[in-house]
Structure 1
Amino acid sequence: MPDEAKKSEGARAEKLDNKTYLKELERLHVELVRLQEWAVKSGAKVCELAPEKRIPC
């Protein structure tokens, strides 16, 4: 494992305030809709890769 990955492994991102979070969420939603529209129009196939999200039981 590279040194950079080891350093960032336990690091957490800064917590966003609610207004910033909602603004970023809206921006990302618009990007997702654009991607979906492009994929439908062009007939492209899209593969989404996302990091594992750990949810406590």
Structure 2
Amino acid sequence: MNVNHYSTLISTISIKRKEMITNAEEYGLTHKRTLNSSQELDKLINEYLHLKNNCGRS
């Protein structure tokens, strides 16, 4: 696994999580902005888990 990509992904997940929380507080849980942030966060977390699970596999 590329360490730079891994570190960047973790940072991006943290930023996106904060964005989602801010959107939820400002607009509500069912607002389009909150839902979009949540979906983007899901994609980032899935990518992270995929990289983590495949680390060391050939």
- Provide the TM-score with structure 1 as the length reference: 0.45
- Which structure ranks higher in relative contact order (CA pairs < 8 Å, sequence separation ≥ 6)? 2
Larger fraction in helix: 2
- Provide the TM-score with structure 2 as the length reference: 0.44
